[in-house]
A and B are shown apart, each in its own frame.
Chain A
């Protein structure tokens, strides 16, 4: 157990396991201590329950980490728009997938570099608009028919190799992503690898519920990448929606 305060640089806080703000932390410690003392003095009249609850609150305050917040995807410790804080470790939804495309690497790199192309195959995206060369505005379908929006910047770019982006402060959905381009085995096309992270609306619990209904992130990205392949190889995404049936 850590007893000394870590330095309060935002960076360290973002990378740490903490998800409680200073204020909440002290409140937790104070309430925990009070409840523990109260419970210990009344052990014969169910005081043990107060003491246990107090102990848990004390632990929450001292470690500055709340398991319930973790599950719900809540973090009051850091700047809420900080992608490192929201997406670190097991926080956020983390998806990695790749697809092999029968097209030249350069062409695939240029296609992705124009992020405005993404809604053509990523079904949950409504639009991506270019603001500057590296900053773009994203609109996506949120839960229950809502629309979520955020600004993202390209913060890492090696031409023909990798593009990395992350959401900026004030995002409805804190997210980050990268796409890597490699020559496919035998030089027969391009291997495109996508790594996406986002802090799901409703937290981890929301993501687990979504999975129950078959809309988990892995499946979504797998099908997005399939549509991407169909679009750039065949020029269109095959469909049967709208065909006749008896």
Chain B
């Protein structure tokens, strides 16, 4: 089959590889009908995520048709059309039973690597480095799905691939970020980063009762999408002083909740951003975090900072004193996709939202290497790429 493989920093290629096969009783093989490039895949392209190996198949946002089922899988059958969560969960451990699916104890075969770094390991992920399990990803014609009697969710016939694909990651991720804000009716929510996750943070904040949503970015087409499709007020961080603008827009108090939908490769326009870039380029730091700093700084006293953006290492110059001094609540983490999938599928079926509006590029899997660079450079108005194998 064809698959998009990682061969090193700035080197991804479509390669011919063997077809996947069933390795465990609960597995299924899915023929991918639609897959996407995630903003977090760019961290792999840029070499920010350790424990990648030459030849690893990327991709954690995908859906398709079940073509083979393991002997121990009694839930799926051949021909089922499913969308697959990017987090892999066993369904039976202490954490799965409590709905903390992305904290699954049993799905990461390389858990010891993360235990060294984090104390405890989270769940395995598709196509996202060996410390996250080393599972082959879904930017391919076929993919093996472990614990497939727990993760894959059946799609109603009348919904299109484009309508449901983002249930695999970015819609639940945006939704959980908004839910983590503990929004009270009428609250003001500020969102840093108007990439696809940011767009779904905006949409979800409205769904959960926000009174105002303010979006912050520096890319005109992303701000335009936030304003047009997301109905958010927007701030261009290259033209406006973000803190002052937010303060003035909220009657001097600051937003009730701030969402950092940017993560570890933040591009700011302030001095601290240059400092982070210098340090990371000299391998003296692992993450750039000007968005997170700004979110903590701008948040009102007693407010919430919610972080769906991915961070990996030890963060430098986190304004922890500000967070403490203002009594902020910080919430973050990998998305418990399994928890949100049924809820959000229901909202899509009821017509409350059609997530396909974030798609700007519809390509073939063969085009994936170019698509990665276009997406990273934010060229050609690129916000979200979907690909058909």
Contact size range, A: 20 to 34
B282 shortest CB reach to chain A, Å: 30
A233-B93, A245-B56 known; A238+B7 contact, CB < 8 A: no
A222-B112, A226-B111, A234-B147 known; A244+B90 contact, CB < 8 A: no
B residues contacting the other copy or chain, number (CB 8 A): 45
B333 interface residue per 8 A CB criterion:
no
A11 shortest CB reach to chain B, Å: 41
A243–B135 CB distance below 8 A: yes
Which of B5, B20, B26, B109 has the most chain A CB atoms inside 10 A of its CB?
B109
A127 shortest CB reach to chain B, Å: 22
A180 interface residue per 8 A CB criterion:
no
B178 interface residue per 8 A CB criterion:
no
B17 CB contact (under 8 Å) in A188, A226, A244: A244
B106 interface residue per 8 A CB criterion:
yes
Residues on the A chain within 8 Å of B72, using CB = 235-236
Restricting to B255-277, which residues have a CB under 8 Å from any CB of A?
none
A102-B92, A102-B94, A229-B106 known; A238+B24 contact, CB < 8 A: yes
B56–A241 CB distance below 8 A: no
A245 shortest CB reach to chain B, Å: 4
Could you tell me the distance between the alpha carbons of A51 and B53 in the complex, rounded to whole angstroms?
60
A129 interface residue per 8 A CB criterion:
no
What would 19 A/B residue contacts be, using CB atoms closer than 8 Å? A102-B93, A102-B94, A222-B112, A230-B90, A233-B105, A234-B26, A234-B90, A234-B92, A234-B147, A235-B25, A235-B92, A236-B26, A237-B24, A238-B133, A243-B23, A244-B57, A244-B140, A246-B3, A246-B56
Chain B contacts to A: CB under 8 angstroms: 1, 3, 5-7, 13, 15, 17-21, 23-26, 53-57, 72, 88, 90-94, 97, 105-109, 111-112, 124, 133-136, 140, 144, 146-147
Chain A contacts to B: CB under 8 angstroms: 100, 102, 188-189, 219, 222-223, 226, 229-230, 233-246
Given contacts A230-B106, A234-B92, A240-B133, 12 further A-B contacts (CB under 8 A): A100-B94, A226-B111, A234-B26, A235-B72, A237-B24, A237-B109, A238-B106, A240-B23, A241-B23, A243-B23, A246-B13, A246-B57
